[in-house]
Amino acid sequence: MLAAGAGTRFGGGKLTAPWGDGLLLDAALDAAFAAPVRSVTVIWGADEAVVRAASRHADRSGQSARLHLVHNSLHAEGMGASLRTAVGALPPDAAGAFVFLGDMPRIPHDIAPKLAQALAAGARAAAPVCRDRRGHPALFSAELFPALLSLAGDRGAGWLLNAMTHGLTLTPTEDDGVLFDVDEK
């Protein structure tokens, strides 16, 4: 989960802002914990409060053993540095990696298993699509890790998905939570 940004358009403290019955980050973490993964790695950088919030939520939800917190010292560089940090923190035997975003609290919990099925069936990457727009989270096979490690600046992995001429499975959903993110108060 990428959670290293400063949230400047929001005015700071975005991921620890109230959302529903908890914090914005809590809802995003719940979606990540619902994914068929061994662990959830939170890449943090600009706001140390994210570490405390993620740890408290993992404790409350019984997911502490699956939570890994990794600091991105180059967070000011942008999303590319966070993705490099995330891929670098994966276990060597990881078959793939989901990319969840900390400011997307409405990801439906049933989408990640569907994306995992696409990878198991041979896709190199998978992502949900709603109303003809690709959403989040995206899932990348280990074959694509070198491309993710080459990212720089504030460029995320969307360019990689856009460049794929084969091996990308788009999974339809009617739930626009795959498109909804929080940028401003």
Give this prediction's pTM.
Answer: 0.95
Q: Is 38:45 a contact under the CB 8 Å cutoff?
A: no
Which domains can be identified in the chain, with CATH numbers? 2-178 (3.90.550.10)
Token readout for 84 is 């490099």
73-118 pLDDT, tens digit each: 999 999 999 999 999 999 999 999 999 999 999 999 999 999 999 9
Q: What is the pLDDT along the chain (185 residues), one digit of tens a residue?
A: 999 988 888 888 899 999 999 999 999 999 999 999 999 999 999 899 999 999 999 999 999 999 999 999 999 999 999 999 999 999 999 999 999 999 999 999 999 999 999 999 999 999 999 999 999 999 999 999 999 999 988 888 999 999 998 999 999 999 999 999 998 76
pLDDT, position 12: 84
pLDDT, position 185: 66
| H or E element at residue 86 | helix 79-88
CA distance 44 to 70: 6
On the 0-12 / 13-18 / 19+ scale of CB atoms within 10 A, 27 is: buried
